[in-house]
A and B are shown apart, each in its own frame.
Chain A
């Protein structure tokens, strides 16, 4: 697959860009932040995502979706990132859909239509500690009657309290740290024994701490195979990580463009500050880092779409590089804006907050650099 967008992809990029810019720019983000919305996103906007066809972007065509791939999902996510458009797109339409593709017919028919129509939100209950360590899952799922009983605690479940269903990773065998013995469950929002504590994060998103106190689910709630949840989890995580990386390319690019515009306007010492070589070199370096991030993210998406075995390695590299580059972009952006960068009125700070959260989501740059090392045998 060539490393350039084809005509259809370019058209999608144009329409996603136009849509986010007009329907969900940073003013939209601010509106939802300031009204302290319990969801942290607009259900109306999510419906509009559906009208654009974005919600079913990864769902096969014969099941009502667009049947497109990670490159296309990434195109939408980049624009989401560039505009800080709050939505459940990454968790629901990218990561959760990737999980449900491994589920049986009943479960797909249960959830795909609602995702496609923009009515359904799905959360990911994977993390159990402040750092993303999926193999360390301790949450237990014990056989109980015809099904399972889930016990444990989850955190950083983004939009968890707004979700109609949660995909819960739990241990049916083995011990903490082992990748075998995990099983994924679809747990509906009103399940008895599940309690949630939604908390607002630095980027104004709402994520839940979740307690599972003997939550009963039937055997039909299992996504994939019992004890082999890792293989599905890997797909969810690869999709989520590549998606988060694409969103960070958008966040970093948005911050970078805003900063470069500022360098061309702000005057000090009788000059536009963009004339100073000290800033020009930093700007050019930043541009290069963002370009590298964009390329490795596209490569990872291509590999995932092709089913190439290198997808996992490149996904780790993409999440790491996008995280480092986006982080550089928001830090340089704030510094180059000077004092006004510290004010709430200017958007650059919003980008810094969003970068921080996206860097942590699905594992930070250090976690993924470590995975690159491990996959390379050291």
Chain B
């Protein structure tokens, strides 16, 4: 056996032994998803145990270095772990903006001290992070953001507001884009980390068309952000005033993450679940067949994208294309789910509809092509950076 085959069989055996049976069933709703944090409330002992054993092994962040709480796996090993977990239907032990976004930023831009301080907390799910990017006046044109951090000697005094801050009301800390120089649009933003329990931070959930409130408005009134949290642990990641570089890097990650959504369901065909409806609806069946073609194409494409990304042969702006395709496809998927569901799918609160899950999920997907950069902005970026079309 090759080393990778050995790793695969050992991983499978370890998962068999350590993943509780309950954690191998699909999550029934948002409550079944573990986000960690200071105020974490585990839904069950199994959920707690699953997080603990995975964190212990570094497998909440399998490809991070072991000294920062990761598993130290190579990309092939990490892929094997993902595949084996998918085969056994293991739930993700920990969902976290710390893992998906802040972690990669710290790994790339952080000092050794920042990494040692913040990364293990993220890996163990001890601190729940939120992201402060968009502002009421700065959506697609993010770089125009105005939340300002004034230098007050040993601290910055932050004033302003953010919007679409995911789970800001539940987060412990925020990684936030703060203007630190009003004269320079691009090189006047810093990437700042601070505690949401600071005086002057308030959050207000936003009720969405789906009825859920995953996003907040977040307000900062004279918030004191220390310049340092200890020796070498600056509250600013990367260079002061160069937070836009960090933000751009992270947006790439976010787009990559969101772009994966068109592939949900893995190998499964969307149409396979609706045979009865389609038997009497040839036009709907035809639409579904074309969707399934795109589903297989996107699945293949995501695999190629990941292989190219990891081998360093991909175009740096490619995640913008993935985000565009993935989110548009996910919206199509949910349009079809609604069409298949007919009037049953319209029910908003009934038990039969699991509290209107189809309708609510369908509405949720409409944000996919807005958040993290709209489809239109993605097409602009693809056109200019990949296709090298002329013009500003």
The interface of chain A, by Cβ under 8 A from chain B, is: 2-4, 260, 263-264, 271-272, 274-275, 277, 280-281, 283-285, 287-288, 291-296, 298-299, 313-314, 316-318, 320-321, 324, 365-366, 368-370, 372-373, 376-378
Q: Is the CB of A288 within 8 A of B292?
A: no
Q: Tell me if B311 is interfacial: C-beta within 8 Å of chain A.
A: yes
Q: Is the CB of B304 within 8 A of A298?
A: yes
The 3 closest A-B pairs by CB, nearest first: A275-B391, A299-B300, A376-B269
Q: Is the CB of A293 within 8 A of B297?
A: yes
Q: Which residue of B lies closest to A275 (CB)?
A: B391
Q: Is the CB of B275 within 8 A of A378?
A: yes
Q: Within residues 100 to 129 of chain B, which ones have a CB less than 8 A from any CB in chain A?
A: none
Q: What's the dominant secondary structure at chain B's contact region?
A: helix
Task: Name 19 A/B residue pairs within 8 A (Cβ), A-sorted.
Answer: A3-B300, A4-B307, A4-B308, A4-B313, A275-B390, A275-B391, A281-B383, A284-B321, A292-B298, A293-B297, A296-B300, A298-B300, A314-B300, A317-B296, A369-B286, A373-B292, A378-B269, A378-B271, A378-B274
Q: Tell me if B380 is interfacial: C-beta within 8 Å of chain A.
A: yes
Q: Is the CB of A3 within 8 A of B307?
A: yes
Q: Is the CB of B288 within 8 A of A378?
A: yes
Q: Tell me if B352 is interfacial: C-beta within 8 Å of chain A.
A: no
Given contacts A272-B391, A274-B389, A299-B300, 19 further A-B contacts (CB under 8 A): A4-B308, A271-B391, A275-B389, A283-B387, A287-B387, A295-B297, A295-B301, A295-B303, A295-B305, A314-B296, A372-B289, A372-B293, A373-B288, A373-B292, A376-B292, A378-B275, A378-B278, A378-B279, A378-B288
Q: What's the dominant secondary structure at chain A's contact region?
A: helix
Q: Tell me if B325 is interfacial: C-beta within 8 Å of chain A.
A: yes
B residues near A370, Cβ cutoff 8 Å: 286, 289
Given A373-B292, A378-B278, is A288 in contact with B303 using a C-beta cutoff of 8 Å?
Answer: no
B residues near A3, Cβ cutoff 8 Å: 300, 303-304, 307-308
Given A4-B311, A373-B292, is A284 in contact with B387 using a C-beta cutoff of 8 Å?
Answer: yes
User: How many residue pairs, one in A and one in B, have C-beta atoms under 8 Å apart?
Assistant: 141
Q: Within residues 281 to 325 of chain B, which ones have a CB less than 8 A from any CB in chain A?
A: 285-286, 288-290, 292-294, 296-301, 303-305, 307-308, 311, 313, 321, 324-325
Q: Which residue of A lies closest to B383 (CB)?
A: A280
- Min CB distance, B366 to chain A, in Å? 19
Q: Is the CB of B272 within 8 A of A320?
A: no
Q: Is the CB of A295 within 8 A of B304?
A: yes
A residues near B311, Cβ cutoff 8 Å: 2, 4
B residues near A260, Cβ cutoff 8 Å: 387, 389
Considering the chains assembled together, what is the distance between the CA atoms of A3 and B300 in angstroms?
Answer: 8
Given A4-B311, A283-B383, A287-B382, is A372 in contact with B300 using a C-beta cutoff of 8 Å?
Answer: no
A residues near B296, Cβ cutoff 8 Å: 296, 299, 313-314, 317, 321, 372
Considering the chains assembled together, what is the distance between the CA atoms of A284 and B286 in angstroms?
Answer: 26
Q: Which of B272, B275, B278, B293 contacts A369 (CB 8 A)?
A: B293
A residues near B278, Cβ cutoff 8 Å: 378
Considering the chains assembled together, what is the distance between the CA atoms of A2 and B281 in angstroms?
Answer: 39
Considering the chains assembled together, what is the distance between the CA atoms of A365 and B272 in angstroms?
Answer: 20
Q: Tell me if B251 is interfacial: C-beta within 8 Å of chain A.
A: no
B residues near A288, Cβ cutoff 8 Å: 321, 324-325, 382
Question: How many chain B residues have a CB neighbour from A under 8 Å?
Answer: 44
A residues near B388, Cβ cutoff 8 Å: 264
Q: Which of B300, B304, B379 contacts A284 (CB 8 A)?
A: B379
Given A313-B296, A369-B290, A372-B296, is A283 in contact with B304 using a C-beta cutoff of 8 Å?
Answer: no
Q: Which of B269, B274, B303, B324 contacts A299 (CB 8 A)?
A: B303
Considering the chains assembled together, what is the distance between the CA atoms of A260 and B390 in angstroms?
Answer: 11
Q: Which residue of B lies closest to A313 (CB)?
A: B296
- Min CB distance, B193 to chain A, in Å? 35
Q: Which of A2, A376, A378 has the most CB of B within 10 A?
A: A378
- Min CB distance, B145 to chain A, in Å? 24
Q: Which residue of A lies closest to B386 (CB)?
A: A287
Given A4-B308, A321-B294, is A373 in contact with B380 using a C-beta cutoff of 8 Å?
Answer: no
Q: Tell me if B376 is interfacial: C-beta within 8 Å of chain A.
A: yes
Q: Which of B292, B297, B391 has the most CB of A within 10 A?
A: B297
Q: Is the CB of B288 within 8 A of A320?
A: no
Q: Which residue of B lies closest to A2 (CB)?
A: B307
- Min CB distance, B391 to chain A, in Å? 3
Considering the chains assembled together, what is the distance between the CA atoms of A365 and B311 in angstroms?
Answer: 32
Considering the chains assembled together, what is the distance between the CA atoms of A295 and B311 in angstroms?
Answer: 16
- Min CB distance, B66 to chain A, in Å? 26
B residues near A283, Cβ cutoff 8 Å: 383, 387, 389
Considering the chains assembled together, what is the distance between the CA atoms of A313 and B268 in angstroms?
Answer: 12
Q: Within residues 133 to 174 of chain B, which ones have a CB less than 8 A from any CB in chain A?
A: none
Q: Is the CB of B297 within 8 A of A296?
A: yes
Given A3-B307, A295-B303, is A317 in contact with B269 using a C-beta cutoff of 8 Å?
Answer: no
Considering the chains assembled together, what is the distance between the CA atoms of A272 and B391 in angstroms?
Answer: 8
B residues near A378, Cβ cutoff 8 Å: 269, 271-272, 274-275, 278-279, 285, 288
Given A264-B389, A281-B383, A373-B271, is A320 in contact with B300 using a C-beta cutoff of 8 Å?
Answer: no
B residues near A284, Cβ cutoff 8 Å: 321, 324, 378-380, 382-383, 386-387
Considering the chains assembled together, what is the distance between the CA atoms of A366 and B391 in angstroms?
Answer: 38
Q: Is the CB of B272 within 8 A of A377?
A: yes
Q: Which of B300, B379, B380, B390 contacts A272 (CB 8 A)?
A: B390
Considering the chains assembled together, what is the distance between the CA atoms of A284 and B325 in angstroms?
Answer: 11
Q: Which of A4, A277, A295 contacts B300 (CB 8 A)?
A: A295
B residues near A287, Cβ cutoff 8 Å: 321, 382, 386-387
A residues near B313, Cβ cutoff 8 Å: 4
